[in-house]
Amino acid sequence: MMASLLRVVAARASFPSQFHSTRLLSLVKRAERGFSSGRANHNVVTSDFPDIELTATNLTSHVLKDAAEWPDHVATECAVTGRRYTYSQLVDRVARWAGMLTQLGISKGDVVAIIMLNCPEYPIAMLGGVSIGATVTVVNTAYTPEETLRQLQDSRAKLVIGDITLEKKIETSLVLYKMPTILVMNGPSSISGALNLREILEDTSLPFKDCAEVTGEEVALMPYSSGTTGNPKGVSLSHRALAANVNMIVHPSVFVPRETTESYQESFLCYLPFFHIYGILVKILVGLRRGIKLVCVPKFNPDIFVKDVKQHKVRLLHTVPSVLNFLNHSPWSTPEALASVDAVLCGAAPVLATSATVFREKIKKHIFFQEGYGLTEVLITNLTPLEREKIGWCGLVLPGVSAKIIDTLTGQILSHNQSGEICIKSPTMMSGYFHNKEATAATIDSEGWLHTGDIGCYDEQGYFTILDRTKEMIKVKALQVVPSELENVILKHPNVVEVGVVGVPDDRLGEAPRAYVVVSAPTSEAEIKEFVERKVAPYKKLVGGVVFVKEIPKNATGKLLRRELKKIALK
């Protein structure tokens, strides 16, 4: 479910001057009152804020509604080539791409797949598809051709937008994909019949297409998530749900970036992938909604990362724990090089408080931690209000969100300071897993509560914290690995009789997959690793190693006891 523990580090002394205005000070004070307790009614925690306004507006219209206020500011820019689009150009290209999609026969309800690295055209391709009422599904660029094929087949994609650097992988997937598909590549391609997205966006003869009218319940975006078990499933996110979460995140009591004006604009350094819900929501949708420049980095490069931060004067720096660790140890991350930074958002996985402290001391600024919680199926539900830090706790529920803690065995609703599974109700919830009623019913109960699979608790003030996960997925950086998927791959090796896969701690990755294997003939660890590596994406490799055992722990019915295996792994 891609559950995320988000931590933001913000320089308290560097908050924008407008926070000192009477109007915004009153907003913050009202926010503090609203978030002051996160009071629980019969142990159901809600926000004291009024529920946010739910809109039936097309998501693209909502995100770009204020773009005319900063037409000449850069909207998206490639960190490598400098290729860029201003906000007026972005609005123009979104409408032009929408017009082209219509000419190609794509209409409401059709699925458009994006398989691209972070680039300036990514938001245009996404918002153009959403604008005509199509559903956009985003594909993990690390997927093998077989994994890519699975998502294309499951989503019933009618059009694929690909990155030329992934040309061979995409071509292999489409050869196996038996459904008629239109292929558009982000540049000149050697694949026969492929259209060129960049040429399309510059074709002034193409008619514009206005945003389609929607009820708000139509599916706008469909990222894939493994949920609590099984293969990745399409998470159906509506226009209404996504727009609601954007409104929650940009609320003045919790939003760190300063307001975009004629003379001021902040930059987001976008190296975390756009196919991840964090990249989609916090970078693209929220960033463009507030007039921020998205500096698109195709791949994290430690040699130039700090240079990019300095060059683009990044104030709010989004990281993951491994990148924060890199900054703490890199000789290039000096106070001078990071002078523009006064906020650091560390998402996708927990970060140690000691790591944040080291970073704060290194950049020589007094910083404020803001933390949050969210997952693909329900988006972001918790954030800490500005200047009200509670380190180690992931904030209070946002407007419109209800949360409760239940006993994992009895289902009984628990009170504060009691740990159990976190369940959520929110206007930002998914409408379900695409064409998978069984998995949807296993996640959203008959009363409308979404069961997150995360173990946590809340205190007397309503601050939540995450303690553990009930789900079995292994979290490699921001990406999920389903143990059963790897087990099915390993079992295809002719010498493997039984296998169990668990995650083990890894300083660089957060967690790494490790396989415990029972074999019928002498087999080396290298042989198993190589066998798996050929069949899965790089982040699913058995970095945690292969351990040969005599038996795998199972219960009386023969079911793998993964928790027992985990205990063995952590000894």
Contact status, residue 359 vs residue 337, Cβ threshold 8 Å: no
User: Residues 294-305: pLDDT tens digits?
Assistant: 999 999 898 999
Average pLDDT of span 327-334: 90
Q: How far apart are alpha carbons 569 and 547 in whole angstroms? A: 10
Give the pair of three-digit tokens for residue 53: 């306004």
Average pLDDT of span 142-158: 95
pLDDT at 555: 58
Q: How far apart are alpha carbons 464 and 374 in whole angstroms? A: 12
Q: How far apart are alpha carbons 241 and 428 in whole angstroms? A: 4
Sign of CA dihedral 159, 161, 165, 166: negative
3-state SS, 441-467, equals HHHECCCCCEEEEEEEEECCCCCEEEE
Give the pair of three-digit tokens for residue 478: 């921001």
Nearest to 90 by CA among 131, 135, 123: 123
pLDDT confidence tier of residue 28, bands split at 50, 70 and 90? very low
Q: How far apart are alpha carbons 396 and 43 in whole angstroms? A: 14
Coil, helix or strand at residue 189: coil
Q: How far apart are alpha carbons 131 and 123 in whole angstroms? A: 12
For the chain, give the mean pLDDT.
Answer: 87
Question: Which residues have CB under 8 Å from 21's CB, separation 6+?
Answer: none
Nearest to 220 by CA among 306, 133, 299: 133
Pick the CATH number of 474-569 from 3.50.50.60, 3.30.300.30, 3.90.110.10, 3.30.70.20: 3.30.300.30
Residue 430 predicted with pLDDT over 70? yes
Least confident of 138-142, 161-165, 287-291, 393-397: 393-397
Q: How far apart are alpha carbons 470 and 339 in whole angstroms? A: 41
Domain ranges of the chain: 474-569
pLDDT at 174: 96
Contact status, residue 266 vs residue 315, Cβ threshold 8 Å: yes
pTM for the whole thing?
0.82
Q: CA dist 400 to 49, 166, 376, 458, Å?
A: 8, 41, 17, 18
User: Residues 460-519: pLDDT tens digits?
Assistant: 999 998 876 666 778 898 787 878 789 889 988 989 988 999 999 998 888 999 999 999
Strand ranges in 79-209 using DSSP code E only, listed in sequence order? 84-86, 111-115, 135-138, 159-162, 182-185, 195-196
User: Residues 64-118: pLDDT tens digits?
Assistant: 999 999 999 999 999 999 999 999 999 999 999 999 999 999 999 999 999 999 9
Nearest to 224 by CA among 165, 142, 167: 142
User: Residues 381-412: pLDDT tens digits?
Assistant: 998 888 788 877 888 999 999 999 999 878 99
In DSSP terms, 503 is beta-bridged to: 513
pLDDT at 379: 96
The answer for 253, left when phi > 0, alpha when psi is -120 to 50, beta otherwise, is alpha
Rounded percentage of the chain residues whose pLDDT exceeds 90: 64
Nearest to 76 by CA among 136, 116, 119: 119
In DSSP terms, 345 is beta-bridged to: 8, 318
Helix (H) or strand (E) holding 510: strand 510-519
Q: How far apart are alpha carbons 380 and 283 in whole angstroms? A: 13
